[in-house]
Amino acid sequence: MTDRRNELMDACLAYFLAHGVANLSLRPLGEAVGSSARLLIYHFGSKEGLITAVMEEIQARVQASFSVAADKAASDAGPMAVFWAWTTHPDNLPYARLLYEIQVLALRNPEAYGAYLEGSSSGWMALILASMPPSPEALSKATLCAALIDGLLLEFLATGDLRRTTAALELFSRLLQSQPSPPATTHKKRERR
């Protein structure tokens, strides 16, 4: 019943990753996936329905793929290094690019794209917070880490310079580990790692 629909969904997903969603047009998309604009509307109701369906699928895949990677290397390296390695992998990079695109689109019309932002930067915040020991600065620290990954990833996408961006991340990790405790706490308690 939804057999052909699933096939189309997979093909559309690949097309989204390759061409983005900002200037999406049904007729070229239909032709690229071996179908037609007519059938895309038939199976997904409308262009917006198609985008919604595909983006939900993308979000599910991203989370699934990342959770696998995160479990596998839970305490192997730092969580940030794990996430960085996963995101910059060539297989996963198109997802990041697409999520950036949607995030920027959502800045202008949140009612259309705001729903997909859960999987983006602020969505990872909770995940980061959960993997951190609670502290009065946990929120700032999580924001810091998330923003840094975001910025480095955008820089990597723009320049393709994996070495420089990775070096910057490693420098940050060193900074983070060298100073676990903020300047003014009650009384300098030893932090064990």
Partner DNA sequence: CGTTTCATGTAACACTTGTTTCATGACCGA
Partner DNA sequence: TCGGTCATGAAACAAGTGTTACATGAAACG
Q: Element (H or E) spanning 165, and its range? A: helix 162-178
Distance from C-alpha of 102 to C-alpha of 124, rounded to nearest angstrom:
16
Q: Are 83 and 149 in contact (CB under 8 A)?
A: yes
Distance from C-alpha of 144 to C-alpha of 147, rounded to nearest angstrom:
5
User: What is the crossing angle of helices 47-72 and 3-19, to 10°?
Assistant: 80
- Which range of residues in 8-16, 83-91, 126-134, 138-146 is near a copy of itself by CB under 8 A? 138-146
**Which of 3/91 has CB closer to DNA?**
3
**Which of 26/128 has CB closer to DNA?**
26
Q: Element (H or E) spanning 126, and its range? A: helix 121-130
Residue 178 touches which of DNA, a copy of itself, none (Cβ within 5-8 Å per kind): a copy of itself
Residue 19 touches which of a copy of itself, DNA, none (Cβ within 5-8 Å per kind): a copy of itself
Q: How far is the CB of 22 from a copy of itself (least distance, A)?
A: 6
**Which of 27/174 has CB closer to DNA?**
27
**Which of 3/111 has CB closer to DNA?**
3
Verify binding: residue 148, a copy of itself, rule CB under 8 A.
Answer: yes
